[in-house]
Amino acid sequence: MVADIWLEFLKIAKEEAGSRVVETWFKAVSLQRWDAERKIVFLQAPNSFVQDWIKGNYLPLIELHLKRLLNVDQVNVQFINVQNIGDTLVQVAPTAHELIHVTPAQKIVPAESLLHKKRMSGHRVYAFETFVVGPNNSLAYAAAQAVAEKPGSIYNPLFIYGDSGLGKTHLLHAIGTEIKLRHPKAVTLYQTADRFVNEFINAIRFDKVHQFQAKYKTVDVLLIDDIQFISNKEQTQEAFFHIFNTLYDAEKQIVFSSDAFPHDINGIAERLKYRLSWGLVVDMHVPTLETKVAILKKKAEMNSELLSDEVAHFIASRVISNVRELEGSLIRVMAFASLTKQPITLELAQKVLIRSQEISNTPVGFERIVKCVGKYYPYDLSALRSKNRSKELSFARQVAMFLMKKITDKSLRDIGIFLGGRDHSTVMHALDKVQSHAQENTEFQSQLRRIEDDILSSAP
């Protein structure tokens, strides 16, 4: 009976809240028991993340419709974790020491007591413990933790998107690190999309496509960073499509990061976009001032530095668009303090950062970069934005793209949009070409340095 009641509720919830809410949240929950005497409904959630999210966002919806379906005037909803011992349902209060199952053949492992020490002795940079959570990233963080706790069984695939430098790569690595600690025998693979593309090209070149496919189809957890870089690469997308289907059908965990929502990525086949958004899609935003301060203090602590509140607030209040730029400012301050053997004070931080702030206040100025590039190549902004693909103009455009990516902290998407609405793959190709040419031609390498010096020394 209770199962039928919950199925009826899911139908109503789909009409009122939408199918995505039902697929993402309610289908992960089950109605375990109805206590008619005390009018208590016992629901089971797969983890504390789902439980807290539903309680905070959908509890009134659940109570309203369960009252109607159960034909009572009130319902008290309680969440439980359950274990089946024989045929008896035993209620277990949620605690910080929840148990996780590795495989049917392995013993139950206490999550916190056994893993905390291993986590902190491992790769500290990309662990969950070193990720600072704020309103801008709390959903992405909680989803990543939920996936790490039960890979392949919830939020599969997980798709995290947001601008460059907000911590997407950190979360992907943290998921991989946590899963390896909990499931040592699991095959976990982190790969950037551009490396995936290059690996596939080499597989075709050396007639090793079968080995390439076999490698990816045997992993238990696949973490793909910057998936947008497979845009406009039809053969790569076809290969990835089949890999995705194989892993998904086998209930293997897949996690993606991108700088855009799945359906907003240009140059990707519709059927692949559809699969990218099958599971849970979460975004990350620019951190608040309070979160920036917490990040600075955490990073300083990891480097055995004690950062005062006034210094942290000063650095955080500068015109900083993402976490990577925030950390860069802190590193400059700490490096200067170390080299000059001075304590980190507000005066020292102001002295170190005021120059870079003056340089970057335009903000970092794509226009200024184009103007300086124009001193060496006879093309203005309108020409660089045009559809003209002549060899000379295309190379000048590529140089501008290269310097924009090197000097600023903007995403490839931002650069492409600024220079005529071009896509990520065009900008990525430009970076590779300019860097390759610089390695082969020392005169061009010197010219790049001169242009960069002009940009950094010119007045805003």
Cβ-proximal residues to 392 (8 Å cutoff; 6+ apart), any chain: 377
C-alpha separations of 241 from 147, 151, 156, 248, 255 in Å: 22, 20, 15, 11, 14
Cα radius of gyration rounded to whole Å, the chain: 26
* Least confident stretch, 19-33, 61-75, 150-164, 369-383: 19-33
Across residues 237-266, what is the average pLDDT? 92
Please tell me the predicted confidence (pLDDT) of residue 458.
58
Find out whether 63 and 77 touch, Cβ atoms under 8 Å.
yes
Cβ-proximal residues to 325 (8 Å cutoff; 6+ apart), any chain: 165, 409
Q: Look-up: residue for tokens 């004690």?
A: 306
Q: Which residues pair with 190 in a beta bridge?
A: 223
- Token representation of residue 259: 């700088």
Across residues 401-430, what is the average pLDDT? 85
pLDDT in tens, 33-73: 888 888 899 998 877 767 877 887 788 889 888 888 888 88
Cite the beta strand spans of 115-270 per DSSP E: 158-161, 188-192, 221-225, 253-258
- Token representation of residue 283: 């975004």
Please tell me the predicted confidence (pLDDT) of residue 91.
33
Residue (of 187, 180, 255, 258) closest to 423 by Cα position: 258
For residue 99, pLDDT over 50 is answered with: no
Angle between helices 391-407 and 442-457 (to 10 degrees): 60
Return mean pLDDT, the chain. 81
- Reading phi first (left if > 0) and then psi (alpha if -120 to 50, else beta), residue 225 is in beta
Please tell me the predicted confidence (pLDDT) of residue 125.
63
Cα-based angle 424, 257, 207 (whole degrees, multiple of 5)? 70
Please tell me the predicted confidence (pLDDT) of residue 432.
85
Q: Which residues pair with 92 in a beta bridge?
A: 81
Across residues 356-381, what is the average pLDDT? 75
What are the helix (H) ranges across 18-47? 19-24
Q: Are strands 188-192 and 280-283 parallel, antiparallel or unpaired?
A: unpaired
For residue 357, pLDDT over 70 is answered with: no
Please check whether the two domains, 2-92 and 126-283, share a CATH topology. no
* Least confident stretch, 80-94, 175-189, 325-339: 80-94
Highest mean pLDDT among 252-256, 261-265, 371-375, 445-449: 252-256
Task: Name the band, by pLDDT with cuts 50, 70 and 90, for residue 157.
Answer: very high
Residue (of 103, 108, 82) closest to 153 by Cα position: 103
For residue 381, pLDDT over 70 is answered with: yes
Residue (of 383, 387, 398) closest to 448 by Cα position: 398
Amino acid making up residue 153? S
Q: Whole-angstrom Cα distance, residue 407 to residue 409?
A: 7
Give the residue with greater pLDDT, 223 vs 30: 223
Q: What is the DSSP letter of 231?
A: T
**For the chain, percent of residues with pLDDT exceeding 90:** 26
Q: Whole-angstrom Cα distance, residue 330 to residue 351?
A: 13
pLDDT in tens, 438-447: 888 888 888 8
CA 319 to chain centre: 23
For residue 113, pLDDT over 70 is answered with: no
Please tell me the predicted confidence (pLDDT) of residue 320.
61
Task: Name the band, by pLDDT with cuts 50, 70 and 90, for residue 95.
Answer: very low
The upper half-sphere exposure of residue 385, i.e. CA atoms within 13 Å in the direction of its Cβ, equals: 12
The upper half-sphere exposure of residue 74, i.e. CA atoms within 13 Å in the direction of its Cβ, equals: 3
Cite the beta strand spans of 60-187 per DSSP E: 76-85, 88-92, 99-100, 109-110, 158-161
CATH of 366-457, one of 3.30.1490.190, 1.10.10.10, 1.10.1750.10, 3.10.20.30: 1.10.1750.10
Question: Is 374 exposed, middle or buried (CB count within 10 Å of its CB: 0-12, 13-18, 19+)?
Answer: middle
Segments making up each domain of the chain, as ranges: 2-92, 126-283, 289-360, 366-457
Angle between helices 323-339 and 309-316 (to 10 degrees): 130
For residue 94, pLDDT over 70 is answered with: no
For residue 96, pLDDT over 70 is answered with: no
Q: Are strands 76-85 and 40-44 parallel, antiparallel or unpaired?
A: parallel
Please tell me the predicted confidence (pLDDT) of residue 223.
95
Q: What is the reported pTM? A: 0.56
**Is 2-92 assigned to CATH 2.40.50.140?**
no
What is the dotted CATH code of the domain comprising 126-283? 3.40.50.300
Angle between helices 2-17 and 59-70 (to 10 degrees): 130
CATH of 289-360, one of 3.40.30.10, 2.40.50.140, 3.40.50.300, 1.10.8.60: 1.10.8.60
